[in-house]
Amino acid sequence: MKKIIKSQFKSFWKSFRFKLSASDNPLFIGFYKYFYQPKKGSLSDFLSQYSNSKKGDFFVVQIGANDGITHDPIHKFIKRDRWSGVLMEPQPTVYRESLSKIYQNHEGLHPLCAAIGEEDGSQKLYKIGFSEMRWATGLASFSLEKVQEHYKEGIVQKNCKKYGLNMPMDPSQQISFENVKVISPETLMESYSISKIDLLQIDAEGFDLEVIRIFDIEKTQPQAIIFENENLNKEDLQNCYELLEKNGYKTQKFGKDTLALKTPLGEFESFFKE
Average pLDDT, the chain: 93
Model pLDDT, residue 11: 79
pLDDT reading at 3 higher than 80:
no
Query: Phi, psi (5° rounding) for residue 84?
Result: -105, 165
Model pLDDT, residue 163: 86
> Any residues with CB less than 8 A from the CB of 195 and at least 6 apart, and which?
none
Q: Tell me the pLDDT tens digit for each residue of 78-117.
A: 999 999 999 999 999 999 999 999 999 899 999 999 999 9
Q: How far apart are CA 19 and CA 13, in angstroms?
A: 10
pTM for the model stands at 0.92
Delimit the domains of the chain by residue range: 19-120+197-271, 124-178
- Residue of 94 and 7 predicted with greater confidence: 94
Model pLDDT, residue 274: 65
Of the candidates 10, 30, 138, the residue with the CA atom closest to the CA atom of residue 76 = 30
Model pLDDT, residue 7: 66
pLDDT reading at 231 higher than 80:
yes
Mean pLDDT, to the nearest integer, of 50-68? Answer: 95
Model pLDDT, residue 206: 80
Query: Phi, psi (5° rounding) for residue 63?
Result: -105, 115
Mean pLDDT, to the nearest integer, of 144-162? Answer: 93
Q: Tell me the pLDDT tens digit for each residue of 239-255.
A: 999 999 999 999 999 99
Model pLDDT, residue 16: 92
Q: Are 142 and 126 in contact (CB under 8 A)?
A: yes
For the residues of 40-63, what is the DSSP string, one character each? TTSHHHHHHHHHHHTTT--EEEEE
Q: Are 66 and 94 in contact (CB under 8 A)?
A: yes
- Report which DSSP code applies to 69: S
Superfamily of domain 19-120+197-271: Vaccinia Virus protein VP39 (3.40.50.150)
What angle is formed at CA 45 by the lines to CA 41 and CA 51, rounded to 5 degrees? 140
Torsion sign (Cα): 208, 210, 211, 213 = positive
From 14-18, 87-91, 187-191, the region with the lowest mean pLDDT:
14-18
